Amino acid sequence: MVSRAAHNTYQRAGVAACFFLLSVALVAADKDWQFDADGARAHQLIMNLQTDAAQQLLGRMKGNELHKMYLLSLNETIDALISEDETKFERSEVLFKERLAYLEKLGATPDALFLRAELQLQKGFNQINLGQELSAVLSIRAAYNLAQQCVKKFPDFVPVKKTWGVIQVMIGSVPDKYHWFMSLLGMKGSVVVGQKMLNDLRASRSSLSSEAGILYYTIKGLINQQFDEASKGLTDMLKQQPDQRLISFLAVNMMIKNSQSEEALQIIQHLDANTKGLPMYYIDYIRGEILLQRADYTASIQAFQRFIQNYKSQNFKKDAYFKISLAYFLQGKTEQAKGFFERAKKTGRATAEPDRYADAQLKEGIFPNPKLLRARFYTDGGYFKEAKEILTAITPIDLTTLLDRTEFYYRKGRLAHKTKDVAAAKIFYQQTIDLAKDNPWYFGPSAALQLGYIAQEARQYPEARVFFEKALSYKKHEYKNSIDSKARFALDQLPR
């Protein structure tokens, strides 16, 4: 970090001029950005979420001040986002203003433009986490303009590929209903372009290549729905850095999306033994999910309760209480289930997608079909034998509503798809769509999305286009934002 005294010193014309010439020389020699030994060690500590140790090292670090500024800002942002400590957000805002003022005095050098863009983007992430959506959009717009300027002026400057790549993905995956707003702000994005940027950085000699790899595989999973590739890519990175906690955390997230809950649980247990750095309270939320999927209900409840007690943000707490309610419900403990069901209604906020889904279920005021619920959890976790046994045992008398009948075929479709029985999956998904019609359930649009993926993989592109457009056509359901962004990205990838 640049101290206030150093900041004032650099303002003096003579020293500022010398430093400016020095920074130009450094840029000419290092368009890739390669940290020195201390910088590389600090970066490794940050990626391992050892933010206090990184801060101490950076406080002693000499050498390239702009590299140091990048590392300090990254460290503070990760610390604030993981800890959910609002006082850290406030402190980072003060430091952001000081750093931005310093960088503006350096002019339009590639380093200065990149760092200004990166700091604005990090500020945007912090504001999103605080629920300051409008302020976040303005920060991201500032980052967009600066990164775009850097890319145009200095196309060979490698580090900006990280910032520009992330912004391209963010804007490219914005739901349709917000496109007018993005256009009004003069921002256009493409997930494909963003991924290429990150892949180029990942393959470079830059010290930021590992960050690019993490971002690349996270996007592969969360945006592209290529969870197999994302999970494998992150676990391969983990083999090279087995104690890297950030990669471990993201690998766990990709694995549970890929129905690899048992493998994810093994990594969580490794994380339990690696206590250096920031506490990762969110891991208990994921642990609760996995234990619920494998029907270990008592342990699942305990994990969710630890999460609720320790996690400072209100995000995911509504869903955690709802999941506790479901765990009691599946044990036949009706009174406890009702108590936590009511508590979930009054707790947290319906901003994160799991909370929105929980909120929709809570507003219905009834518990789901228990057999379908078990089938869903078993399938999601990769416990396919148990899921098949339950679905096979379900009879028409168990399906008393159109909603239940629709979900039944959707669950059969998901199980068939995940167990590579594509022909059966196609039949069940189509039955789901036929039954769902225009009802505001996610089963229809999700089935259409999956049919699009199946057709895309078979290179049946016209059919894939029809199904992706079908997924987009549903007006209202719990997962509209994520399904729409996935369908739109898939459409962008189809040959014209």
pLDDT of 173 strictly over 80:
no
pLDDT of res. 182: 64
Q: Are residues 134 and 84 in the same domain?
A: yes
Same domain for 168 and 76? yes
- Are 58 and 102 in a shared domain? yes
If you search the block for the tokens 């403990």, which residue do you land on? Answer: 333
Q: What is the mean pLDDT of residues 169-196?
A: 76
Mean pLDDT of 443-454: 97
User: What per-residue confidence (pLDDT) applies to 467?
Assistant: 97
Residue 190 lies in a domain: no
Position 24 pLDDT exceeds 50: no
Using the predicted structure, report yes or no on whether residue 140 has a pLDDT greater than 60: yes
Identity of the amino acid at 191 = V
Residue 466 domain-assigned (yes or no): yes
Q: Which of 343, 367, 391 is the last residue before a domain boundary?
A: 367
Structure tokens at 56: 């101490």
Q: What is the pLDDT of residue 364?
A: 87
Whether the pLDDT of residue 7 is over 50: the answer is no
| Together in a domain, 39 and 123 | yes
Query: Do residues 332 and 453 both lie within one domain?
Result: no
Query: In this structure, are 319 and 413 located in the same domain?
Result: no
Percent of the chain surpassing pLDDT 90: 67
Residue 377 lies in a domain: yes
Work out the number of other CB atoms within 10 angstroms of the CB of residue 397.
6
Based on the fold, state whether residues 47 and 179 are members of the same structural domain: yes
Distance (Å, whole) CA 74 – CA 53: 14
Q: Does the pLDDT at position 388 exceed 70?
A: yes
**Does any domain span residue 331?**
yes
**Per-residue model confidence (pLDDT) at position 34:** 94
- Averaged over 149-156, what is the pLDDT? 95
> Confidence band (pLDDT; 50, 70, 90) for 177?
low
Q: Is residue 276 part of a domain?
A: no
Judge if 310 and 427 occupy the same domain. no
44 occurs within a structural domain: yes
**pTM of this prediction?**
0.82
Q: Yes or no: say if 118 and 73 are a contact pair by the CB < 8 Å rule.
A: yes
344 inside domain: yes
Q: How confident is the model at residue 134 (pLDDT cuts 50, 70, 90)?
A: confident
Say yes or no: 349 and 408 in one domain: no
Domain-embedded: residue 275: no
Q: How many Cβ atoms are within 10 Å of 16's Cβ, its own excluded?
A: 15
Here the CATH number for the domain that contains residue 463 is 1.25.40.10
Same domain, 355 and 397: no
Same domain, 151 and 53: yes
Task: Indicate the number of domains in the chain.
Answer: 3
Choosing from 123, 155, 185, the residue where a domain stops is: 185
Give the percent of the chain with pLDDT over 70: 92
pLDDT digits (tens, 9 = 90+) for 209-227: 999 999 999 888 887 778 8
Are residues 360 and 405 part of one domain? Answer: no
Residue 449 has pLDDT above 90, yes or no: yes
Domain assignment of residue 106, given as a range:
4-185
- DSSP of 452-466: HHHHHHTT-HHHHHH
Least confident of 58-72, 176-190, 293-307, 324-338: 176-190
Q: Of 120, 151, 185, which residue sits at a domain end?
A: 185
